[in-house]
Amino acid sequence: MAREGILIVVSGFSGAGKGTIMKELTGRYEQYALSVSATTRTARPGEEEGKDYFFKSQEEFEQMISNGALIEYACYVGNYYGTPRAYVEEMLLQGKDVVLEIEIQGARKIREQFPEAVLLFVTTKDAQVLKERLMKRGTESREVIEQRLLRAVQESEGIEEYDYLVVNDELDACVEQIHSIIEGEHRRIRYNMKLVSKVREELRSFAKGE
Amino acid sequence: MAREGILIVVSGFSGAGKGTIMKELTGRYEQYALSVSATTRTARPGEEEGKDYFFKSQEEFEQMISNGALIEYACYVGNYYGTPRAYVEEMLLQGKDVVLEIEIQGARKIREQFPEAVLLFVTTKDAQVLKERLMKRGTESREVIEQRLLRAVQESEGIEEYDYLVVNDELDACVEQIHSIIEGEHRRIRYNMKLVSKVREELRSFAKGE
């Protein structure tokens, strides 16, 4: 019997390596499907339609909102970002574990609609590593980096609402830790009631001497 | 920093192999401490005081009850069985994951007192395996076996109250699955708030340009 898919929300500090972790996780294990967001921001060089984002006009995006075609959406720096509902629901039906990389506001909306979703927060072992990674990108001024660090502080305010904290110290270990958490979630009683009922019925008939 | 210990309740069908699993789990990983029950039943040949059970007189046991020295206790077939509180609390303080092998009534009492305890239920993949294992013991009449199967049906009524279902199909895989579930539990946000607070503080001071 095919098992039920689990919806997984991954949030984390800028610079904690969410993107790399998710590429690695979905590359290693076929059970995962990575949700692709819709956005109204313009594509950056190298970004592919349907792979990095679904690029939409403001009108198209607002049409999706009013059609209920997005599970969650938010506005950052004047652009919309949202999660198309159809892909997520289709993949869950197929038994895939669907991974969403979104922030706290989105995570809250997911939890409202999918109470059994698993919310993961990715951090580094200290803030020094985050600072260094942001500085290494090299393109940002000191002010921008300080803004990002301040935003990271704000991001961290919602951590208590998440289920699990994953420390990205060593990429490979971190990916395996996430996979192991999800495999554990699949062992939850609610996903295994078919097996429970089957064994229960068999026991009943044996006990009757059948 | 030493991590907090987790209290783990393992229940399961008679014949599902709980005893073997727990010996294997605690033998493989030092992080686990196996709780030893107190009982008023007489020792069977080969059973050791303090290893298999703490053997108590009825008076001693009832004294423990009135002193609050037991976390939970129950009466089966005219004998008391209970979990001494001191050992469990001492091991948890030391950061050990403490494993209790008890039944549903006991599991409920544990959950009341330790809401964060992890409740695991062990089953085989079907009832046929259970029946065969009970029959292989060879010492029991058909009637006794049917009684045990009936009791297994009753045991299964409380399964929905457990957190995880573990299938003991292959011992090694089963032990690793349990270990993996517990390692996942250690990643829960509530056990990692010290790290979260530390990173948060560091981010704050970096954002201030310190």
Contact between B192 and A146 using a beta-carbon 8 Å cutoff: no
**Domain with A15 in it: what CATH number?**
3.40.50.300
Question: Can you tell me the mean pLDDT for B94-111?
Answer: 94
Task: Please indicate, yes or no, if residue B176 is contained in any of the structural domains.
Answer: yes
Alpha-carbon gap: A171 to the closest alpha carbon of chain B (Å):
16
Per-residue model confidence as pLDDT tens digits over B23-46: 999 999 999 999 999 999 999 999
Is beta strand B70-76 parallel, antiparallel or unpaired with respect to B79-84? antiparallel
Global pTM value = 0.90
Contacts of B89 (CB under 8 A, 6+ apart): none
Which one-letter DSSP state was computed for residue A205? Answer: H
* Residue of chain A nearest B124, judged by CA positions: A199
Q: State which residues form the domain around A20.
A: 7-35+96-207
Alpha-carbon gap: B137 to the closest alpha carbon of chain A (Å):
17
* Residue of chain B nearest A209, judged by CA positions: B146
Contact between B207 and A177 using a beta-carbon 8 Å cutoff: no
* Residue of chain B nearest A131, judged by CA positions: B206
Contact between A206 and B160 using a beta-carbon 8 Å cutoff: no
Contact between B149 and A198 using a beta-carbon 8 Å cutoff: no
pLDDT at residue B210 in the model: 67
Contacts of B46 (CB under 8 A, 6+ apart): none
Task: Please indicate, yes or no, if residue A165 is contained in any of the structural domains.
Answer: yes
Contact between A206 and B127 using a beta-carbon 8 Å cutoff: yes
In B184-193, which positions are buried (b, 16+ CB within 10 angstroms) versus exposed (e)?
bbbbbbebbe
Per-residue model confidence as pLDDT tens digits over A6-61: 999 999 988 889 989 999 999 999 999 999 999 999 999 999 999 999 999 999 99
Domain count of chain B?
Answer: 1
Task: Please indicate, yes or no, if residue A61 is contained in any of the structural domains.
Answer: no
> Quick check: B100 and B106 in contact, CB under 8 A?
yes
Helical residues (DSSP H) of chain B, grouped into ranges:
18-28, 58-67, 85-93, 104-113, 127-136, 142-156, 171-186, 193-207
User: Residue B157's pLDDT band (boundaries 50, 70, 90)?
Assistant: confident
The answer, yes or no, to whether residue B140 has pLDDT greater than 70, is no
Task: Please indicate, yes or no, if residue A187 is contained in any of the structural domains.
Answer: yes
In A107-141, which positions are buried (b, 16+ CB within 10 angstroms) versus exposed (e)?
bebbbeebeebbbbbbbbeebebbbeebeeeeeee
Task: Please indicate, yes or no, if residue A15 is contained in any of the structural domains.
Answer: yes
Contact between B189 and A159 using a beta-carbon 8 Å cutoff: yes
Counting residues of chain B whose pLDDT is more than 70, the rounded percentage is 97
Task: Please indicate, yes or no, if residue A70 is contained in any of the structural domains.
Answer: no
- Token pair 């629901």 is at which residue? A89
d(CA A58, CA A61): 5
- According to the 3-state scheme, what is the secondary structure of B159-192? HHHCCEEEECCCHHHHHHHHHHHHHHHHCEHHHC
Task: Please indicate, yes or no, if residue B194 is contained in any of the structural domains.
Answer: yes
Contact between A150 and B188 using a beta-carbon 8 Å cutoff: no
> Quick check: A99 and A34 in contact, CB under 8 A?
yes
* One-letter amino acid for residue B151 of the chain: R
* Residue of chain A nearest B181, judged by CA positions: A184
Asked if the C-beta of B160 comes within 8 angstroms of chain A's C-beta atoms, the answer is yes
Measured between beta carbons, which residues in chain A are less than 8 angstroms from residue B152?
203, 207
Task: Please indicate, yes or no, if residue A148 is contained in any of the structural domains.
Answer: yes
Query: Helix or strand or coil: residue B57?
Result: coil
